[in-house]
Chains A and B, each alone.
Chain A
Amino acid sequence: MNFYNVFLSIFTLFAIGITGYVTRKINLIGKEMADNIPKFITHVTMPALIISSMQLPFSWDRLGDVGGILLIAIPAYGLQFLVAGIIPWILGVRKSWDKGVYQFMMIFSNAAFMGFPVLISIFGQESIFYAALFNLPFNALVFTVGVYLMEKGKSKFKLKSLLSPALVGTVIGFMLFIFSVEIPEIALKPLSMVGDLTTPLSMIFIGSSLATVNFKNIFSNRNLYIVSLFRLVIMPVVLLFALKNHVSNELLLGIPVIITAMPVAALCAILAKTYENNVDLASEGTFMTTFFSLFTIPLVVWIFTLVV
C-alpha cells in the first residue's frame, strides 16, 4: 500500500469536508438541505452503494473471507465493549447520568458516513462488500445496547427499528452474491451512480454540520479529549496489534481497524435526543471526535502501512 496515495485519498475527503463547511457557512447549503442529507444518505444512497458493491462473482474463497470478517468482528466489538466498561472509571463518571453517553461513544463509531468513504479510497469499492458485513452487528447493537445505554426510563423496544435500510441492503446484497444473481446493467448503472453519491455527500454533510458548532464550548470539556484518544487512536491501534499475527489478508485486517478508528457515530446525538439524555454532550463528542479524526485517521492508516 502506497502511503502517498492513502494520504491523497484522505486529503480529498478532507477537502470535500471543507467545501461542505464553507458552503454551509455562506448558506449555499441551507439548513433544510443540511438536515435532510443524512436521511437521504441512509435511506437512498447507502443501500444503493451496499447493493451495487456486493455485486461480486460468487467464489468459495470469498465466502471464506466472509466468515473471516464476521469472526474478526467478535474481538473488534469485544474490545469496544471492554473499553466502554472501564471508561466510567477512567473519567470518574460512574455515578453520573452521562455514563451511558460516554459508553455509547466507545462502542459505536461512524462506520457508514466516514468509514465507508475512507475504506473505498484506500481499498477500493470491493471493500464495501466486507465492510457492510462487518457492520451488520452495528445495526443490531445500536438499537438494543445503544438504546439501553441512552435511556433513563423505560421505553418500548421495537423490532422494526432493527431493520435499517443499510441492513436490508446488506441482506439483499448478500443474497444476490450467494445465489450469483447479476443485476442487469440497466438497473445496476443507476444504482451504482446513486451509491457513488455516498462518499462526497457524507463528507459535505460532516463539514456542514461543523459549520454551526460553537467550538469554544466543545473544547472546554476535558473528558472529551480522553474519549477522543481512546476512540480514535488507542482502540484501533490495540486492535491492529492484536489481530496482525492472526490475519494475513490486508483487507480483512484493514476494515476492522479503520472502522474502529472512526469518530463517534452520528446516531449518538440522535438517540440521546430521542431518549432524553444529555444531547449537548452527545453532539459535542461527535463533533470533537469528527474534528480530530481528520488528523488521526491518516495517523492510524500510516501506522497500519508500517505494520502490514
Chain B
Amino acid sequence: MKLGFYNVFISITTLFAIGAIGYHIRKKGLLSEGAAGNFPRFITDITLPCLIISSMQLTYTQDRIQEMGALMVIAVVAFLVQLIFSLLIPFILGLGEDGDKGVYQFMIMFQNAGFIGYPVLVTIFGTEAVFYGAIYNIPFRILIMTLGVSMMEKEKRVFSIKDMFTPGIVATLAGLALFFTQYKLPVLIDDPISMIGSLTTPLAMIYIGASMTEVKFGRMVANKRIYMISFIRLLAIPMVILLAINGFVENEMIRGVPVVIHAMPVATLCTIFAKEYNNNVDLASSGVFMTTLLSMVTIPLIVTALLMV
C-alpha cells in the first residue's frame, strides 16, 4: 500500500470536518450536554471493542507475525523516548519540586491512543491498522495503570489487576485469540459487529468537536507551559521516534502506526486521574484541550513527514 498525499489530506480533513459538525450541533443544542457526555462510555465500551474484534479478523501469515514482533520492538523504543522526555520535562519547564510535576509528566508520557488514535489510523491506513494499533495499545495500558497512576497520585494506592482489563483490552485479547486459532466469526455475528464498530470514528470525532465547546480559552491560553508541553507531545516525540526507526523499518504501516499513535494529544484519562487522585484537574483538562486543538494542525504535519521520509 502506498500512501498518497492527496488521500491522506482528504482523510484528515474528513475527520476534522466531522469534528466541526460535532462542535456546531453541540453549540446549537441539537446534541444535548447529557447525550454528548454519554458518547465516551458508549464508544469505549461498545463500538471500539467491536471495531477491534472485527478488524482483527485477519488471515494468519508468517509476515504478519514478524510485523507484530517488529511492532513490539518499536514500542519499547517509542515508550523509552517518551519516558526520557517525561523525566526531562521538570527541568525543561524549570519546575523544581512543583506539585504539578506529575501532571506535566503524565501529559508527556500518555497520549490519546484510543479515542483519536483509532479514527486517524482507520482513515489513513484502513481497518487493518486497527489490528496493529490494538496490539500496540496493550503495553500502553499496562504503563498507564502503573506508571501513570504513580505519577498522578499524591498518596499511595494499590494497583489492581482488574484495572487492566478495559473493554478495549479484552476485545484485543479476544481478537488475538481468534487470530491465532484462525477462527473466523460467522457472518451473522461479524456483520453486526463491524457495523457497530464503524460508528467509532464518526462518533469519536463528533464527541471531540462537541467537547471543544466547553473550553475556557482565556485560562488555557494564559498557561505558557502548556505550549511547551504541546510542542513536545505533538511534534518532538513523534519526530524523534520517526527518525529513530526510519532506517530500520521498511513496511509503511508498521512505521506509520507507532508514529501516528505517538503524535496524539494528551490522553483524556489525564483529567479523570487528576480528579480521582486529587491532583490539579484544571491543569490536566487545559492540557487535554489545548493539545487536542493543536493536534488538528500537527497531525497533518506529522503525516506529511511520514510521507516524505
Contact = CB atoms under 8 A, between A and B. Distances in A.
Given A32-B37, A200-B195, 13 more contacts: A8-B188, A11-B191, A16-B192, A16-B196, A28-B42, A29-B42, A30-B34, A32-B38, A40-B35, A186-B13, A187-B17, A190-B21, A200-B199
A36 B31 contact: yes
Interface of A: 8-9, 11-12, 15-16, 19, 23, 28-33, 35-37, 39-40, 43-44, 185-187, 189-190, 193-194, 196-197, 199-201
A227 B259 CA distance: 59
Nearest to B6: A185
B203 A190 contact: no
B18 to A, nearest CB: 5
B199 A23 contact: no
B198 A15 contact: no
A201 B187 CA distance: 20
18 contacts: A12-B192, A15-B188, A15-B191, A15-B192, A16-B195, A28-B42, A28-B45, A35-B35, A40-B25, A40-B31, A44-B25, A44-B30, A186-B10, A189-B10, A189-B14, A190-B17, A196-B202, A201-B199
A9 B35 CA distance: 28
B201 interface: yes
Given A29-B42, A43-B30, A197 B203 contact: yes
Given A11-B188, A200-B196, A201-B199, A23 B17 contact: no
A19 B196 contact: yes
Interface string B158-192: 00000000000000000000000000000111011
A190 B46 contact: no
Nearest to A17: B192
Contacts of A11: 188, 191-192
- By secondary structure, the B interface counts as helix
Interface of B: 10-11, 13-14, 17-18, 21, 25, 30-35, 37-39, 41-42, 45-46, 187-189, 191-192, 195-196, 198-199, 201-203, 206
A32 B39 CA distance: 11
Contact of A200 (B33, B187, B189, B198): B198
B38 A33 contact: yes
Residue in B32, B33, B35, B206 with the greatest tally of chain A CB atoms within 10 Å: B35
B46 A185 contact: no
Contacts of B46: 19, 23, 28
Given A19-B46, A185-B10, A186-B13, A32 B35 contact: yes
A29 B206 CA distance: 16
Complex A-B, nearest 3 residue pairs according to Cβ-Cβ distance, in ascending order: A32-B34, A36-B35, A15-B192
A29 B39 CA distance: 8
A135 B97 CA distance: 67
A201 B189 CA distance: 18
A90 B203 CA distance: 46
A193 B16 CA distance: 12
Contacts of B192: 11-12, 15-16, 19
A8 B34 contact: no
Contact of A40 (B30, B37, B199): B30
Contacts of B38: 29-30, 32-33
A16 B13 CA distance: 29
A193 B202 contact: yes
A121 to B, nearest CB: 10
A234 to B, nearest CB: 30
A37 B32 CA distance: 10
A213 B281 CA distance: 40
Contacts of A15: 188-189, 191-192
Contacts of B203: 197
